[in-house]
Amino acid sequence: MKQWALLKPGWQKLILYLIVLGVTLFLAAVLQWFVVRQFSGHLAEIQNEQLQYEVQELSSSITERYAAWQTELKELSSSLGRDMLNQGTRQYPEGFKRESGGAFYVLDEQYHVMVGRDNREMKSAVQQIKWLQNGCAVSSFVTEDHQPAQYIACRIQGAQMGGFMVRTVDADMLSGIIKSKPVNQHETLFYNGQFKVVASRSTPDINRTDITGVTRRLLEGNTGVIEDDGEKHGIGFSRIGEEALYISIKDVSEDTAQRISSFRKQLWMVMVLILFILWAMLVQFRKRIVKDAIVNNQVRDQRRDEDMRQQQDTYYLPLMQTIEQQLQELQEQTSRLTGGDDLKLLGFYHDLANRFEAASSQGKGASHEELEYFRELNENFIQGRLRQESSLGELLTGVRSLRDELEEKMHDNSGISFTDMNEVLSESLKWANRSLNMKNIQVILRQEPVPSIAAQAPMLYKTIQGLLENAVQAMGQGEEQPENQEKGRTGLRSKRQSQVLKVSSRLEEGEIIINIEDTGGGIDDKMRWSYFQPDYSQNSQEHAFSLYHMDAYLKTIGGRLKLRNTDQGLQAIVRLRR
């Protein structure tokens, strides 16, 4: 704290600003992290829901497509398959196809191909479902011409000999299920039970073996959304008879990352703008607070000064005036006690003893003992008088020192000093000659000896200067009136009215009277009360007090201000208590 106090105010302000800025940026970063985290979590939830929806939709499509293929194969087996089996001869060596896809085969009871090319993979797959009695079944996947294939077999009923009608489900048919969906940002793969890709949008992916954490969990029968190497996969399966087709959907697009990055940038821009606005508001708010604090401090200091001044003027000033008056009287009494006619007694008894001695030499005087008594009495009187004079001198010096010390303390503590009103009048008139337009104004100054008063000299100067300024302004307005005309020998001639300013001081019992009289025409008696209101002033006081402030100050020191109209102007009377 000591080191902080030793720093300059500018450095302290800079450090505080940097601390506030750092805390603000830290809070902004935390807020940005939290908001982006919430946004990312929301996007992740949307992504998970979308992946699960895609898996469920594909699973439903697979089930529907296999059901349609089985229905179509069953219908063909009850009509076309039965006829081909009854003919008993090999027909359609390459088999036949339909628009729904896949190749069709007809086999007899011994799995000999009656329709279609000889396909060992197909016969092997049909043998897996030889237990089939009636209806249709789906075989597991096998590899046909390096491509995964699956077969749907239906037993032919109503023929002369038993047999099967088989339909091939190849990778193109399964990939068609994927491609039937709108192109999106997902990579969709179908797996069989041997971790091989049996369907995809991309042909090179087909028949690829993927043994990963995703496919392991997939073939274990798990469903939902899993994350592997930072990528999310939606997994599920579709049950087809005794077999299952496994679905894996991976979000390979960068849309989520781009949206998060774009959202982060936009959030930073908004936060920077908000922080800039908040910073500007904070600076303005701080300036406002500092300004209000300064104004409040000024008002508080002003009120405190006014209260102190009022207390000083109410209690302290009258006491000081009484003390000063008593000191003056004590000084005058002490001066009267020293010197004067009392000094004539010095040597009186000595001269008397000399006369007695001269008379004694002539036989007419007192005795020797009486003469010595008079001389001793005279000496004692002289010594006592000298001690009295010394004590009175010390007392007079002490009174003067006490008066000077009292005046110095009053001036230092409250601005109060012993002020000579005659000096105030003289200096104020000099100020008026310098600052006001005193042209064509005759000044008459009459001063009587008046004692000094204990008061604040600057306030007395402003009061007297304010009254002088009012008087000069009133007489200045009187000059603008039309000139009087008088008849002379040569006819009418103009005569300018003379302007006179009378300033006087005199001493009455217990009061000092200051008169300032002008010839400016006086004031309106009906408006006299308004002149002493705080919100009204007849003339703008450029250099001194208004009448309201003059009267308010004079009341604090026990004085009074009165305005009285005369024949030619206005007389301001200031009464000050001694």
**What tens-digit pLDDT sequence spans the chain (578 residues)?**
556 666 677 777 778 778 877 887 788 788 878 887 787 777 778 878 888 888 888 889 999 989 898 888 888 888 888 888 887 766 676 667 777 788 888 888 888 888 888 888 888 888 777 666 667 888 888 888 888 988 888 888 877 787 888 889 988 888 888 888 765 668 889 998 888 898 888 888 888 888 888 888 888 888 888 888 778 888 898 888 778 889 998 876 666 667 777 777 877 788 788 878 887 887 788 788 878 878 887 777 777 767 666 655 555 556 566 666 666 777 666 666 655 455 555 566 667 667 766 776 666 656 667 667 777 777 777 777 777 777 777 777 777 777 676 666 555 555 677 788 889 999 999 998 888 888 888 899 999 888 888 777 888 888 888 888 888 888 887 655 444 444 443 333 334 457 899 999 998 887 899 999 998 888 877 777 777 777 665 554 445 567 888 888 888 777 888 888 888 888 999 998 87
**Burial (0-12, 13-18, 19+ Cβ within 10 Å), 346:** middle
Residue 146: closest CA among 69, 94, 198: 198
Cβ-defined contacts of 11-20 (< 8 Å, 24+): 20/282
Token readout for 347 is 């040597």
**Burial (0-12, 13-18, 19+ Cβ within 10 Å), 503:** buried
Classify the phi-psi angles of 207: left when phi > 0, otherwise alpha if psi is within -120 to 50, otherwise beta: left
pTM score above 0.75: no
pLDDT of residue 487: 40
Q: Secondary structure of the chain: what % helix, strand, coil (to 5)? A: 55, 20, 25
Query: CB of 437 within 8 A of CB of 476?
Result: yes
Query: CB of 392 within 8 A of CB of 334?
Result: yes
Tell how strand 441-447 and strand 499-508 pair up. Answer: parallel
Token readout for 148 is 């995964």
CA angle, residues 155, 158, 159, in degrees to nearest 5? 85
C-alpha span between 432 and 219 (Å, rounded): 112
pLDDT of residue 494: 39
Residues 6+ apart with CB under 8 A from 563: 523, 528, 531, 570, 571, 572, 573
DSSP string, 241-269: TTEEEEEEEEE--SHHHHHHHHHHHHHHH
Q: Token pair 């990939």 is at which residue?
A: 175
pLDDT of residue 336: 60
Classified as helix, coil or strand, 95 is coil
DSSP string, 292-359: HHHHHHHHHHHHHHHHHHHHIIIIIHHHHHHHHHHHHHHHHHHHHHSSGGGGGGTTHHHHHHHHHHHH
pLDDT of residue 505: 92
Token readout for 51 is 């992946």
Token readout for 485 is 């005309």
Query: CB of 352 within 8 A of CB of 367?
Result: no
Classify the phi-psi angles of 320: left when phi > 0, otherwise alpha if psi is within -120 to 50, otherwise beta: alpha
pLDDT of residue 345: 57
In terms of DSSP H, where are the helices of 77-155?
82-87, 120-127
pLDDT of residue 573: 92
Query: CB of 519 within 8 A of CB of 500?
Result: yes
Residues 6+ apart with CB under 8 A from 355: 365
Classified as helix, coil or strand, 31 is helix
The amino acid occupying position 499 is Q
